Structure 1
Amino acid sequence: MNLKNILKGARLILAPLFVLLFTTISFAAEGSGHGIDGSDLSLFWVIPFAGILLSIALFPLFAEDFWHHHFGKISAIWAVSLLIPMTIEFGISATFYEVLHAYLLEYFPFIILLLALFTVSGGVRIKGYLKGTPMVNTGLLLLGTILASWMGTTGAAMLLIRPMLRANAWREKKVHLVVFFIFLVANVGGSLTPLGDPPLFLGFLQGVDFFWTTTNLFWEMVFVAAVLLVLYFIWDSILYKKETNTPPIDDGSEPLGIEGGFNLFLLLGVVGAVLFSGLVNIGEFEIYHVHVTVQNLIRDFTLLALAWASWHFTSKESRAANGFNWFPIQEVGKLFAGIFITIIAPIAMLKAANNGEGALQFVNNAVFNEAGEPINEMFFWITGMLSAFLDNAPTYLVFFNAAGGNAEILMNEMTNTLIAISAGSVFFGALTYIGNAPNFMVKSIAEQSGVKMPSFGGYILWSFCILLPIYLLVTLLFI
């Protein structure tokens, strides 16, 4: 991978920003540009979002080669299919505001953080012989689950997925390994701190104490993780006994250890940059009525600098031995560039539903009883199911505000409601490939390693059958 490839990846992230800034100057005189009113939207406005989800689900199944070469164009087509009617209906000023808001405050920070974690963790190579036995695999899953809350689900997933795949490369059946890895390391493990998963970080920014989730979601997370680890160990043990392939012999030529260990310090820098943006308030400025904070800009440029340092100082031979390439982050970047556009309408409709208005007001009505009291079980399931198909961070924020939006009250008098919202947004992210960003990246890396992963719908069949009964027990025991 050379400088040309790096610049190509940077162009993917930065080109839309220059377009947005140019258009901002062009249209600045057109009016206030304060976005669209979700109460005016019918269910037809959800079609582009449903379309991009169906494309992700069906194209790899029926036209895999076409999808592999053109998924970025398909993502762009669905984005445009929302932007054109939105511009006609609400005007270019309001539409542009929504796009700028989605990209500056959500997409760019999202993809920059993923790029930093992907690049830095991809520079750490766990070398030496690891035999993919049920005990070793379960141990790696446990380690990743523990690390996820402290270095982020993306960081933990990118750190461990490659060594886990190498340890099991000789085995015939590996799909279950990757599926449980997504369940545990890419989702459930991020439940205990704001560093673990984006929705919890948004809660932290809204005033939820840093260690509130550590103390209040601890037993829920331990229960789900323990059930999944036991289930995985039994499942893997049965398949291991039926394995006909022969594992490679350890010739002792490469002792077990870590290569590129300085990247672990860069990971601490990533964590520090994220914490900095949540704890420090330097100020803000407006770009076409979108409020951009200085501390967030400092965070994003710091993350880009850390990614550059990791790429520049990590041995290219070590990255090659680690199976590192840019395709997974390019795939996530292009697909989510479309998703963050098409999701504008559903999120606006959910916000309107908080006020009892619009086509989705039945969603808000379902989480409160006739006396206006919260139904915590419904908060858990509705927040969760929407988080599985929408972005879990804004979904968390919508229901956080639906429950009153006062962090002090939610942490104390309404503890169970905040537990339901927090657990739902994190746990249910494992239900689909798009429920949480590292899901798609893990899938892509596994496929590049020769694992034939389930389609979008096939994965949902796995996740629903395994996770929904567990989440039903969580509802009965904890919510």
Structure 2
Amino acid sequence: MTLRIARILAVPALVLLAAGMATPAAAAGAYEIRGADLSILWAVPFVGILLSIAVMPLAAPDFWHHHFGKVAAAWALAFVVPYGLLHGAPASGYQVAHTALLEYIPFVILLGALFTVSGGILVTGNLHGSPGLNTGILAIGTLLASLIGTTGASMVLIRPLLRANDERRHNVHVVVFFIFLVSNIGGSLTPLGDPPLFLGYLKGVGFFWTTSHMVHEMAFCTVILLAVFYALDSWFYRKDHEFRALRDPTPDTKGMGIQGQVNFVLLAGVVGAVLLSGSWKPGVSFDVFGTHVELQNLARDVILVGLALVSLAITPRTLREANGFNWGPILEVAKLFAGIFVTIIPVIAMLRAGRDGVFAPLIALVTHPDGSPDNVMYFWMSGILSSFLDNAPTYLVFFNLAGGDAETLMGPLALTLLAISCGSVFMGANTYIGNAPNFMVKAIAEERGVKMPSFFGYMAWSGAILVPLFVLVTLVFFR
């Protein structure tokens, strides 16, 4: 298993090493990318990788299954190589190294730690997926997501939920609503829940600000989605009764239980490591390939890797096998998001250029003629971009666009910060790539035999259910 962890980090480590060899640290400041100077053509690699994720699993499923990592690498090189030819290898190398050190590697380490530790928790016993039980699991997972993160809650609960519904003919909707609630909207109440809120915490937003300000919007969405799910699941459950001759592949057991409880302690350690990096400010940093890596962030990542290794060492292998644990989902996320993180570099730079960049018309949409913020558009623009871009840097773009001062945004502009926060967190559920747990849940469900919808098929679900919900959120909270 340790070898598998090494494989997860091998590709970014090699890319980082190659980038570092091409990047003179002393001159790295000169290599900052200027979004105002970039044309829309620099967004082509990012659009290309998104279309590949959307189309290739349908058009060439066998090729995609065996070579999706190579496709992601090809699109990453479609940015790195031309940018290097135009601006020099050191400039291109700096961009890759900067993104890998500050964003991608910490991102993969956190997800990998949550995936590994939560994969050692086994809910035993055979639940039967009735509408009441499924709704209860979704409700528990939604609350749990703000405590141990959307990734942690998703990994703890998706396997028992799939096992509970493995005898049903209609179970795709169960996973889709799980992604809506547990993998996204549930992470709204603390900075631990979702990466955008954690970045806001690092920028000075109070730890409990999201708890007190987002609870109404989160509860509104949760209650409506749970009610819609219960009605839909009840309808499918009645249809499934016509096929009760199908046998439950999971044997019945007496009662329920939890094994691997020590991993809950390790999950608390993961939460503590994340809090440490946000509250401990020793003022020490290291220059790595021209990028300043702060000691608290390095300490967090070392602790997270250590906790994952401890979980592997002390959790019986038979427990993980009974849980259906394997490394496929996290490897898929690591490879695809490596390409996404690289190709998104010029897109984020163009967004940060604001009115001086090619996305100026989009930026103008979030401001009234008198210069005041248009909170409705902040909600929708941050949300739409978070549906297709990484929601953490998208949150930062709009956070800075609204002034970037945490005290002001928590005070006179609190509604604007609320709109940005809700848009970034809620609308990550609109697509498979809106939030990393979405992909992981999809991969685990497919491994368990659930025929998950395609990229556009999933968007049909989110368009039919989430978009009307978000219109209601707009009318109730942001008008």
TM-score range, shorter chain: over 0.9
Correspondence 1:214-253 to 2 at 5 A: 214-243=211-240, 244-246=242-244, 248=248, 253=253
Corresponding residue SS for 1:272: helix
Corresponding residue SS for 1:126: strand
Provide the C-alpha distance between the structure 1 equivalents of 2:430 and 2:250, rounded to a whole number of angstroms.
37
Correspondence 1:327-406 to 2 at 5 A: 327-353=328-354, 356-406=355-405
Residues 193-214 of structure 1: CA deviation (Å, up to 9, x unaligned): 0000000000000000000010
- When residues 80 and 234 of structure 1 are mapped into structure 2, their CA distance, relative to the original with a 3 A threshold, is same
How far does residue 19 in structure 1 lie from its aligned partner after superposition? 4.6
**Amino acid across the alignment from 1:322:** N
Provide the C-alpha distance between the structure 2 equivalents of 1:412 and 1:359, rounded to a whole number of angstroms.
31
Corresponding residue SS for 2:24: helix
Give the RMSD, CA atoms, in angstroms: 1.5
Corresponding residue SS for 1:230: helix
How far does residue 15 in structure 1 lie from its aligned partner after superposition? 4.5
**1:193 corresponds to:** 190
Provide the C-alpha distance between the structure 2 equivalents of 1:285 and 1:69, rounded to a whole number of angstroms.
38
Provide the C-alpha distance between the structure 1 equivalents of 2:22 and 2:101, rounded to a whole number of angstroms.
18
- Asked if the contact 2:25–2:287 (Cα under 8 Å) also holds between the matched residues in 1, the reply is no
Answering whether residue 44 of structure 2 is matched by residue 43 of structure 1, we say no
**Amino acid across the alignment from 2:263:** N
- When residues 191 and 29 of structure 1 are mapped into structure 2, their CA distance, relative to the original with a 3 A threshold, is closer
Answering whether residue 75 of structure 2 is matched by residue 78 of structure 1, we say yes
Provide the C-alpha distance between the structure 2 equivalents of 1:99 and 1:325, rounded to a whole number of angstroms.
29
**1:16 corresponds to:** 12
- Asked if the contact 1:411–1:418 (Cα under 8 Å) also holds between the matched residues in 2, the reply is yes
Provide the C-alpha distance between the structure 1 equivalents of 2:95 and 2:280, rounded to a whole number of angstroms.
26
**1:263 corresponds to:** 263
- When residues 340 and 170 of structure 1 are mapped into structure 2, their CA distance, relative to the original with a 3 A threshold, is same
How far does residue 34 in structure 1 lie from its aligned partner after superposition? 2.9
Residues 55-93 of structure 1: CA deviation (Å, up to 9, x unaligned): 001111111111110000000000001111111222222
Counting aligned pairs with the same residue, the percent is 55
- Asked if the contact 1:34–1:289 (Cα under 8 Å) also holds between the matched residues in 2, the reply is no
Answering whether residue 315 of structure 2 is matched by residue 277 of structure 1, we say no
- When residues 7 and 364 of structure 1 are mapped into structure 2, their CA distance, relative to the original with a 3 A threshold, is same
Provide the C-alpha distance between the structure 2 equivalents of 1:21 and 1:236, rounded to a whole number of angstroms.
50
Provide the C-alpha distance between the structure 2 equivalents of 1:30 and 1:143, rounded to a whole number of angstroms.
50
How far does residue 21 in structure 1 lie from its aligned partner after superposition? 3.7
**2:292 corresponds to:** 291
Of residues 54, 72, 96, the one that matches 1:99 is 96
- Asked if the contact 1:49–1:343 (Cα under 8 Å) also holds between the matched residues in 2, the reply is yes
**Amino acid across the alignment from 1:298:** A
Provide the C-alpha distance between the structure 2 equivalents of 1:315 and 1:49, rounded to a whole number of angstroms.
41
Unaligned runs of 5+ in 1: none
Provide the C-alpha distance between the structure 2 equivalents of 1:171 and 1:305, rounded to a whole number of angstroms.
39
Correspondence 1:165-204 to 2 at 5 A: 165-204=162-201
- Asked if the contact 1:150–1:196 (Cα under 8 Å) also holds between the matched residues in 2, the reply is yes
Provide the C-alpha distance between the structure 2 equivalents of 1:289 and 1:417, rounded to a whole number of angstroms.
34
**Amino acid across the alignment from 1:272:** G
Provide the C-alpha distance between the structure 1 equivalents of 2:304 and 2:251, rounded to a whole number of angstroms.
39
- When residues 49 and 242 of structure 1 are mapped into structure 2, their CA distance, relative to the original with a 3 A threshold, is same
- When residues 370 and 16 of structure 1 are mapped into structure 2, their CA distance, relative to the original with a 3 A threshold, is same
Provide the C-alpha distance between the structure 1 equivalents of 2:438 and 2:251, rounded to a whole number of angstroms.
34
Answering whether residue 32 of structure 2 is matched by residue 31 of structure 1, we say no
How far does residue 249 in structure 1 lie from its aligned partner after superposition? 10
Corresponding residue SS for 1:99: helix
Corresponding residue SS for 1:123: coil
- Asked if the contact 1:38–1:358 (Cα under 8 Å) also holds between the matched residues in 2, the reply is yes
Correspondence 1:119-158 to 2 at 5 A: 119-158=116-155
How far does residue 94 in structure 1 lie from its aligned partner after superposition? 1.8
How far does residue 311 in structure 1 lie from its aligned partner after superposition? 1.1
**Amino acid across the alignment from 1:76:** A
**Amino acid across the alignment from 1:193:** T
Aligned pairs, number? 473
How far does residue 25 in structure 1 lie from its aligned partner after superposition? 4.5
**2:448 corresponds to:** 449
Corresponding residue SS for 2:287: strand
How far does residue 9 in structure 1 lie from its aligned partner after superposition? 3.5
Corresponding residue SS for 1:348: helix
Unaligned runs of 5+ in 2: none
**2:464 corresponds to:** 465
Corresponding residue SS for 1:291: strand
- When residues 251 and 170 of structure 1 are mapped into structure 2, their CA distance, relative to the original with a 3 A threshold, is closer
Provide the C-alpha distance between the structure 2 equivalents of 1:48 and 1:213, rounded to a whole number of angstroms.
35
TM-score relative to the length of structure 1: 0.96
- When residues 381 and 249 of structure 1 are mapped into structure 2, their CA distance, relative to the original with a 3 A threshold, is closer
Provide the C-alpha distance between the structure 1 equivalents of 2:207 and 2:5, rounded to a whole number of angstroms.
34
- Say which is worse superposed, 309-318 or 270-279, in terms of deviation: 309-318
- When residues 7 and 18 of structure 1 are mapped into structure 2, their CA distance, relative to the original with a 3 A threshold, is same
Corresponding residue SS for 2:123: strand
**Amino acid across the alignment from 1:367:** V
Provide the C-alpha distance between the structure 1 equivalents of 2:345 and 2:454, rounded to a whole number of angstroms.
25
